[in-house]
Amino acid sequence: MTQLEAGDVLARRYLLLEPLARGGMSVIWRAFDQSLHRLVAVKVLTASLHLDLGERFRVRSEARAAARFLHRDSIEIYDYGESVTTKGGVAAYVVMPLLDGTPLAERVAEGPLPWTEAAMIALRLARVLMAGHAHGLVHRDVTAENVLLTADGPKLLDFGIAAWTGDPEDDRGTPPYVAPERLAGAPTHPAVDVYALGVLLHTMITGRTPYPETTWEEIEAARRTGPPPRVPGVPHAVASLCQDCLAPDPVDRPTAAEIVAALTGALAATYGGRRVRRRLAAAGSAALALSALLWLRYEGDAAVPGAGTTTAAQGAVSPSGPPAATQGAPTPSGPPTAAQGVPTPSGPPTAAQSAPTPSASPAAVGTAGTPGPRATSGSGSTASSPGSRPTVRQAVQQAVAEFHAALDSRTPCGATDADVVLDLKQVLRGAMAPPHGPSETRASGPEAVEGVRRKLDDRLREGRLEPACLTELQTRLDAIASALTTS
């Protein structure tokens, strides 16, 4: 057993300041890198390696492999080393960034998490495991102590002491999270991580581990019969997934990729339903507002002799009311959009909407049966807008609205995390923002959305955007670029 104290120095470089967390396999220390003068986190294995040269070689090999594994939700490895301690033992350690956050174990100790929050955390962890398993790495110690909740989401620690698939099993791990086959000495397999993730998901939702055993002796003495315990009060898909992860036979457990798919579907179904309810509420509000506007217009027309007799050749626009139905009143299928022409109370009209032109020819008003675009001046008179600007502006607005609709759609982008959706919308909003001053110009055409395309590529590489969703969003960006090219 490695015995370390505050003030000890590893490899004449890392000064240990205070322990941050203790797990079944290691202790994490806040430390000071005396070479680069920065604070770091040092994870020290609890088992001493001075009597086992084979173990030292294997730990070193695993750390090197893990250092080549990079994932946004896994902690990067700065350094690995072995150091003789003041007690004469040999300590293996891994150096990582020191991040601000709360250990998941502390969050769970405060009480059960809402199932949606627990599922989101498990989803992020499953993605890390999926990537690690694809590289042949098995974590072996997925526990609440090894998950750090940061401002950027959960981070999985300890991949620096992972194992290769097929390695002989050992006694590493935290007892409540250890899969049954590990007690029989089965070779390392990704299924042990799936079992541990099932224990973690159950613990987050219920506030306790699925089985009462907490020590190696208790686990070895336990004789479990019957199916794994079921999580109450959650959707059927989540409860079944948790049970499947805890299956005694590793063959019956899902893969990390299947966990990602199941949790994504469960969360999409929940948040998709909420989006539908929000849209229905928005549609109801829009219908109420439109009814009020039409009533005001009716009242205004009734007070003016001859009102309502305007011909189509005159544009069918009354200064006292909204545009006629033929000019963009919303269809019953959904709430009105800006591109449909329904006025909104968001602010005063822009120059392109209200500035009168010096003259207006009959051709600019439109032919019979086809009302042309009209603008209302501040005095209430009508005048045509220059050229086809309103049509171009509406085309851009419509293309942007379709991009947002694709992001919000359950297919193919329903699996996209809410923070990714919000980030993409904000990037596009910034690209569409008007110039801040006369000396600043906005890029046009493809250049205007290039930053959004780069963001999409980044999210795809991170595994946070499905290829089908990327294809759909790229098509929507092409439409935006095309509309901007004609402006």
Which pLDDT score is estimated for 365?
Answer: 38
Which residues in the chain are classed under CATH 1.10.510.10?
111-267
Greatest Cα-to-Cα distance within the chain, rounded to the nearest angstrom:
104
The catalytic site residues sit at 141
Amino acid identity at 91: A
Taking the CA atoms of residue 152, residue 153, residue 157 and residue 159 in that order, the dihedral angle to the nearest 10 degrees is -90
Three-state SS annotation for the chain? CCCCCCCCEECCCEEEEEEEEECCCEEEEEEEECCCCEEEEEEEECCCCCCCHHHHHHHHHHHHHHHCCCCCCECCCCEEEEEECCCCCEEEEEEEECCCCEEHHHHHHCCCCCHHHHHHHHHHHHHHHHHHHHCCEECCCCCHHHEEEECCEEEECCHHHCEECCCCCCCCCCHHHCCHHHHCCCCCCCHHHHHHHHHHHHHHHHCCCCCCCCCHHHHHHCCCCCCCCCCCCCCHHHHHHHHHHCCCCHHHCCCHHHHHHHHHHHHHHHHHHHHHHHHHHHHHHHHHHHHHHHHHHHHHHHHCCCCCCCCHHHCCCCCCCCCCHHHCCCCCCCCCCHHHCCCCCCCCCCHHHHCCCCCCCHHHHEECCEECCCEECCCCCEECCCCCHHHHHHHHHHHHHHHHHHHHCCCCCCCCCHHHHHHHHHHHHHHHCCCCCCCCCCCCHHHHHHHHHHHHHHHHHCCCCCHHHHHHHHHHHHHHHHHHHCC
Which pLDDT score is estimated for 36?
Answer: 96
Distance separating alpha carbons of residues 340 and 114, to the nearest angstrom: 40
Which pLDDT score is estimated for 459?
Answer: 82
Q: Which residues of 204-240 are buried (b: 16+ CB within 10 A; e: fewer)?
A: bbbeebbbebeeeeebeeeeeeeebeebeebbeebbe
For the 9-97 domain, the top CATH level (class) is: alpha beta
Burial of residue 327, with CB atoms counted within 10 A of its CB: 0-12 exposed, 13-18 middle, 19 or more buried: middle
For the 111-267 domain, the top CATH level (class) is: mainly alpha
Which residues in the chain are classed under CATH 3.30.200.20?
9-97
Find all residues with CB under 8 Å of 88, minimum gap 6, and list them. Answer: 50
Which pLDDT score is estimated for 445?
Answer: 56
Which pLDDT score is estimated for 260?
Answer: 92
Are residues 365 and 315 in contact, defined by beta-carbon separation less than 8 angstroms?
Answer: yes
Are residues 352 and 389 in contact, defined by beta-carbon separation less than 8 angstroms?
Answer: yes
Backbone angles phi, psi at 145, to 5 degrees: -70, -25
Which pLDDT score is estimated for 2?
Answer: 63
Which pLDDT score is estimated for 164?
Answer: 47
Find all residues with CB under 8 Å of 178, minimum gap 6, and list them. Answer: 192, 195, 196, 219
Q: Which residues of 352-364 are buried (b: 16+ CB within 10 A; e: fewer)?
A: eeeebeeebeeeb
Distance separating alpha carbons of residues 421 and 413, to the nearest angstrom: 9
Backbone angles phi, psi at 65, to 5 degrees: -65, -45
Which pLDDT score is estimated for 191?
Answer: 95
Backbone angles phi, psi at 288, to 5 degrees: -65, -45
- CA distances to 94, 198, 216 from 177, rounded to whole Å, are 22, 9, 11
Which pLDDT score is estimated for 393?
Answer: 81
Which pLDDT score is estimated for 51?
Answer: 53
Distance separating alpha carbons of residues 124 and 119, to the nearest angstrom: 9
Q: What is the pLDDT along the chain (487 residues), one digit of tens a residue?
A: 567 889 999 999 999 999 987 766 678 899 999 999 999 999 887 766 555 666 667 667 767 777 777 788 888 889 988 888 777 777 888 898 998 888 899 999 999 999 999 999 999 999 999 988 888 888 888 999 889 998 888 999 876 454 544 444 555 567 889 888 887 777 888 999 999 999 999 999 999 999 877 777 777 676 666 788 899 999 999 999 999 999 999 999 999 999 999 998 899 888 765 544 454 445 445 554 554 454 445 444 444 444 444 333 334 344 444 444 444 444 444 444 434 444 444 444 444 444 444 444 443 334 344 444 444 444 444 444 444 455 778 888 888 998 888 888 767 787 788 778 888 888 888 888 776 555 555 555 567 788 888 888 888 777 788 877 887 888 888 788 878 876 5
Using left for φ > 0, alpha for ψ between -120 and 50, and beta otherwise, residue 166 falls in left
